Amino acid sequence: MAAVARGEAEAFEALWKRFARPVGSFFFRLCFDRNRCDDLVQEVFVRLWRSAGRWRGSGSLAGYVFALALNVWRTERKRNRPRQAEEGELLGETSAVAADPGARAEGAEVRQLLAEALAHLPEEQRLVFVLGQVEELPYRQIAALTGVPVGTVKSRMSAAEEKLRAQLAPLLGMRPQR
């Protein structure tokens, strides 16, 4: 970040390579609109560039980047109403494409079901779920980012997981857990 603050493009490019995809995935799991995600990621990196000199190195860089992303998301939410997942749009991206067309179709169907289930969660639960389960941030960091106590983060995560299990179990032919 010190190199970014000095205006070194290579350092900024390194940050882009490290964080653009995770930040984009974070936004996609919140709004399910790839074009909107691209705009939001760009806004995060504009803010990152502008604020590089203010970062003091306390805490993790990932936490700082996701705090910026969360602030961008909150600003965006004030401007626009939430958009639902469009039909055929998938959650996330696979690391490797399955060679078997049947397996690809099945994987796409599962991702679509998960995207739809996530879209039906209340935003505060979806946000906690994405930060915790997808971005793998610890509860303390999620609490700091969202401005709620750790206990609230835990209860929102539990509620999100319970709702996702209840929605997905029948669709995937599984027995719901209790």
pLDDT digit string, tens, across residues 58-116: 778 888 899 899 989 988 887 875 444 443 333 443 333 344 555 555 566 767 777 88
Residue 110 lies in a domain: no
* Shared-domain flag, residues 75 and 11: yes
* Shared-domain flag, residues 72 and 130: no
Top pLDDT among 110 and 23 is at 23
Is the separation of the CB atoms in 24 and 38 below 8 Å?
Answer: yes
pLDDT of residue 177: 56
- Helix and strand numbers, DSSP H then E, in the chain: 8, 0
Question: What is the model's pTM?
Answer: 0.61
Domains identified in the chain, total number: 2
Residue 99 lies in a domain: no
Q: Kindly state the average pLDDT of the residues 9-31.
A: 92
Residue 52 lies in a domain: yes
CB atoms within 10 A of CB 174: 10
DSSP string for residues in 13-55: HHHHHHHHHHHHHHHHHHH--HHHHHHHHHHHHHHHHHHGGG-
Residue 86 lies in a domain: no
Residue 141 lies in a domain: yes
How much of the chain exceeds pLDDT 90, in percent? 36
CATH at 40:
1.10.1740.10
pLDDT of residue 13: 94
Rounded Cα distance, 38 and 77, in Å? 15
Last residue of a domain, one of 20, 54, 79: 79
pLDDT at residue 51 is higher than 60: yes
CATH at 150:
1.10.10.10
Residue 107 lies in a domain: no
Q: Mean pLDDT across the chain, nearest whole number?
A: 81
Range of the domain at 50: 2-79
Last residue of a domain, one of 46, 79, 112: 79
